[in-house]
Structure 1
Amino acid sequence: MNSPGERVPGPDETSRPSGNARTLALTVCSAAIGGTFQYGYNISIINAPTSYIQGFINDTYLERWGIGLDTPEVTLLWTLIVSAFPLGGLVGALLAGPLAVHFGRKNSLLLNNSFLFVGAVLVLTCRMAKSFEMIILARFLVGMNSGVSMNVQPMYFGESAPKHLRGAVAFSSAVFTAFGIFMGQVVGLTALLGTEPLWAYLLASNALPGLIQLLTLPWFPDSPRYLLIDRGDREACVRALGRLRGGEAPVLEMEEMLQEQQQQQATALNSGSAASAQTPWSLFKNPDLRAQLRTVMAASSAMMLCGNDSIYFYASYIFLEAGIPPEKIQYATIGTGASELTASILSNLLIERVGRRYLLVGGYSLMCCWSVVFTVALTLQSRGVPGMAYLSLACVFAYILSFGLGPAGVTGILPAEIFDQAARPAAYMVAGSFMWISLLLLGMLFPFIVSGLGDFCFLPFLAVCLVSAVFLGLTLPETKGKTLAEITVEFDGKNGVKKERPDMQVDEPSREEYQLGKACSFTTLTQDPGPDFKNEI
């Protein structure tokens, strides 16, 4: 038995949830409900009121100019409304890095709600002002909110969680995104807010999750790594780490962060500049980070170009062909959101057991298979072959499940695990930019792909999934169970860098305690047998 001063936690103890796990879970929920939840929610709620908003555009134009718009003109203005969201997301992704560095991870998420509230006011007053342009501006601001949160939130989670929970906690961003999609579909039902008189309230309902975050997140600490390495405030770091761990700050975890701080200071000293966060341009110029950048850029682009969002486009048509009554299709569509939510929860349970690389490559490989089957089913369905509508229906759910199982969540974790503290904000800026540009291109090109290729419209997505599976399988090392130094050594080989990196002076039992791949999932955090929660906060 170890004495109090020599206590070494055992492996069983590290995977068992305790009071600190519940505090961390509440921090995650508070940040995510106003973070990546908003991304999923806002891409979902815009579908239900499409015809109502198009009618509002035409009526407003008729009242303003005395002449109505033709269908192509209404479609063009609707395209501007839809495209404003990814454009705002791109701007938000570029703002996320500077915000995270100057204001911190937590405060950036809180400030980010200002875009959301202004957008909600614009939507609620657009009818009174008789201006459809206010909807375009509102969707742009909502996109900015999503662009910031999609970058800052995974950064916040990755830096706040202990290593044996880091993958599962970071993957919870994907769980809340899928939950947002599902909730947006539910709230958009005609029985709730998906009606002509209430569509403005539907679009403004995203203010409620933002308000919940504003009321709850200030009670939780900022990222300990940000407080120590970026701000140099060791006392604040110790306090934050102690709260997140439910007691005193773990000595070994502090030593690890201090070593990373010293390494960054030494690197800055050797380069003759002050230790500060890097810029995207400095990442591109650094030959030691080229393999990491290629991996992140490819993964972020593939996540949007793989066709998962486009398959929702076919859902209503396939449900109708399968014999589902038109008035019931909205309820069947909710099943697609529920499928992605189920897959993300399952992946959250598997990520620390199976690993990041296998989930990512496996997800794209399965999507390749379903793309082939889906194309064959659509072709035979158009030729009147019986039963093909049901095969297409199965492909819709299988494709969404495969996406949620791997690419949806693993992609957002990668920058947090393969870049150090100084490079991480810039890496998320690059990843977010590629993601939003890809989403914008897909939204603009997909109608032309459908009209040009018809039943073969998913062949481009097959190519994207195949190339992504092969490329990431060859370039991405498994990060489960490895420290940042160990991951960097593997990338150094791909970058052609030959140099030795000092290993941390950590004894074996303690090293196991802080491994990234310790089998545990975020869903176990709430199952807490520990002491009364009130005493922890």
Structure 2
Amino acid sequence: MTSTGETKPGDTSRPSGNGRTLALTVCSAGIGGTFQYGYNISIINAPTSYIQSFINDTYVERWGTGLDIPQVTILWTLIVSAFSLGGLIGALLAGPMSVHCGRKNSLLVNNVFLFVGAILVLTCKAAKSFEMIILARILVGINSGVSMNIQPMYFGESAPTHLRGAVAFSSAVFTAFGIFLGQVVGLTELLGSKPLWTYLLASNTLPGLIQLLTLPWFPESPRYLLIDRGDREACLHALGRLRGGEAPVLEMEELCREQQQLVNNRSGAASKTPWSLFKDRDLRSQLRIVMAASSAMMLCGNDSIYFYASYIFLEAV
């Protein structure tokens, strides 16, 4: 470090610039990423009774008879659960998408699921089809599944080592903010009323539109550019932009070493499959930790409270 506070080219202990590009990249990716996961969990809560009435009214128009309360509840539960099914599909798509499209482009393409889902929701009344809501929730779930996997990858590969933990943690912050804002937008005074519930479910397109307008201006993951695409010049340019100056020499050397190691591994052994990870004795302890932590987080019941809060309170009265 020089007397003026500038960073030497080989020093990666501190950022070489003010980090503005990195911070804006995190905001742009997060608002259309894990923010959507939290937002789409909470917005389904407010219009519970309206959607149930729509299901029953649609069924009456089709068949001339209404549904019993348990039957409506089953269809409502299917609409809610479709989000989780879509999340599973999105998680499976995230890996191939991140390699073929890149981290940034995958997040941009991922918004297609949101927009198609919004069209289905906005037209379900005219089409008199509650099945369109189920399909829309599956598409929204796919969007969330993709973003929850690719966004932390994009953040971890774009942030310097000393900020990697804080930047990765911001994914959880965006999720919490999405849950909070979804509850606010779902208030009756805003979009939680009977005439506007379709607009409430389609309001997730606004964060997606913000991401589409802003994220293209920010760089791709330097690691993806070098290791997956083999483009050293693009990697240097992206790394320099993210650090607010020239690309740090030590970070570039670290990426080059990782690239060489992967080349050597690919020439000497086949790439690992998911099943081979479970068979690898050296990775069993790490897999146990990840599976235990993830299972505890997913099975603790938080999401069910967000999904069914209004329904639970109405049944308790």
**TM-score calculated relative to the size of structure 1:** 0.55
1:268 partnered with 2:269: no
**Number of the residue aligned with 1:496:** none
Could you tell me whether the CA contact under 8 Å between 1:2 and 1:8 is conserved in 2?
no
**Number of the residue aligned with 2:164:** 166
For residue 87 of structure 1, report the CA deviation from its aligned partner: 0.3
2:36 is aligned, of 29, 35, 38, to: 38
Higher alpha-carbon Rg: 1
For residue 311 of structure 1, report the CA deviation from its aligned partner: 5.0
**Number of the residue aligned with 1:189:** 187
Q: Deviations over 1:327-352 (max 9, x none)?
A: xxxxxxxxxxxxxxxxxxxxxxxxxx
Could you tell me whether the CA contact under 8 Å between 2:42 and 2:306 is conserved in 1?
no
Report the AA paired with residue 53 of structure 1: I
For residue 215 of structure 1, report the CA deviation from its aligned partner: 0.7
Report the AA paired with residue 154 of structure 1: P
For residue 282 of structure 1, report the CA deviation from its aligned partner: 3.4
Could you tell me whether the CA contact under 8 Å between 2:12 and 2:248 is conserved in 1?
no
For residue 294 of structure 1, report the CA deviation from its aligned partner: 1.7
- Secondary structure at 1:227 match in 2: helix
Q: 1:174 & 1:131 partners in 2: Cα distance? A: 35
Report the AA paired with residue 104 of structure 1: G
- Secondary structure at 1:67 match in 2: coil
For residue 2 of structure 1, report the CA deviation from its aligned partner: 6.1
1:307 partnered with 2:305: no
Q: 2:40 & 2:224 partners in 1: Cα distance? A: 29
- Secondary structure at 1:226 match in 2: helix
**Number of the residue aligned with 1:64:** 62
Could you tell me whether the CA contact under 8 Å between 2:38 and 2:176 is conserved in 1?
yes
For residue 164 of structure 1, report the CA deviation from its aligned partner: 0.5
CA-based RMSD of the aligned residues comes to 2.5
2:107 is aligned, of 90, 106, 109, to: 109
**Number of the residue aligned with 1:480:** none
Q: 2:181 & 2:98 partners in 1: Cα distance? A: 28
- Pairwise mapping of residues 427-438 of structure 1 onto structure 2 (< 5 A)? none
1:296 is aligned, of 290, 297, 311, to: 290
- Secondary structure at 1:194 match in 2: coil
2:276 is aligned, of 271, 282, 285, to: 282
2:133 is aligned, of 132, 135, 138, to: 135
- After alignment, is 166-175 or 285-294 more displaced? 285-294
Report the AA paired with residue 42 of structure 2: S
Q: Deviations over 1:453-473 (max 9, x none)?
A: xxxxxxxxxxxxxxxxxxxxx
Q: 1:314 & 1:88 partners in 2: Cα distance? A: 18
**Number of the residue aligned with 2:177:** 179
Give ranges in structure 1 of 5+ residues lacking alignment: 321-325, 327-537
Q: Deviations over 1:32-81 (max 9, x none)?
A: 11100000000000000000000000000001110000001100100110
**Number of the residue aligned with 1:77:** 75
Give ranges in structure 2 of 5+ residues lacking alignment: none
For residue 319 of structure 1, report the CA deviation from its aligned partner: 9.0
Percent of aligned pairs sharing the same letter? 80
Q: 1:244 & 1:158 partners in 2: Cα distance? A: 12
Report the AA paired with residue 95 of structure 1: L
Change in 2 beyond 3 A, CA 1:243/1:10: closer
Report the AA paired with residue 219 of structure 1: W
Q: 1:314 & 1:114 partners in 2: Cα distance? A: 27
**TM-score calculated relative to the size of structure 2:** 0.92
**Which one scores higher on RCO, CA 8 angstroms, separation ≥ 6?**
2
Report the AA paired with residue 204 of structure 1: A
Change in 2 beyond 3 A, CA 1:184/1:304: same
For residue 295 of structure 1, report the CA deviation from its aligned partner: 1.6
Q: 2:116 & 2:170 partners in 1: Cα distance? A: 27
1:231 partnered with 2:229: yes
Q: 2:12 & 2:218 partners in 1: Cα distance? A: 28
- Secondary structure at 2:110 match in 1: helix
- Secondary structure at 2:246 match in 1: coil
For residue 293 of structure 1, report the CA deviation from its aligned partner: 1.7
Q: 2:225 & 2:55 partners in 1: Cα distance? A: 48
- Secondary structure at 2:223 match in 1: helix
Could you tell me whether the CA contact under 8 Å between 1:32 and 1:173 is conserved in 2?
yes
**Number of the residue aligned with 1:418:** none
Could you tell me whether the CA contact under 8 Å between 1:92 and 1:144 is conserved in 2?
yes
**Number of the residue aligned with 2:244:** 246
Count of residues in Structure 1 that have an aligned counterpart in Structure 2? 313
2:53 is aligned, of 44, 52, 55, to: 55
Q: 1:64 & 1:315 partners in 2: Cα distance? A: 30
For residue 283 of structure 1, report the CA deviation from its aligned partner: 2.2
Q: Deviations over 1:192-224 (max 9, x none)?
A: 000000000000000111111111111111110
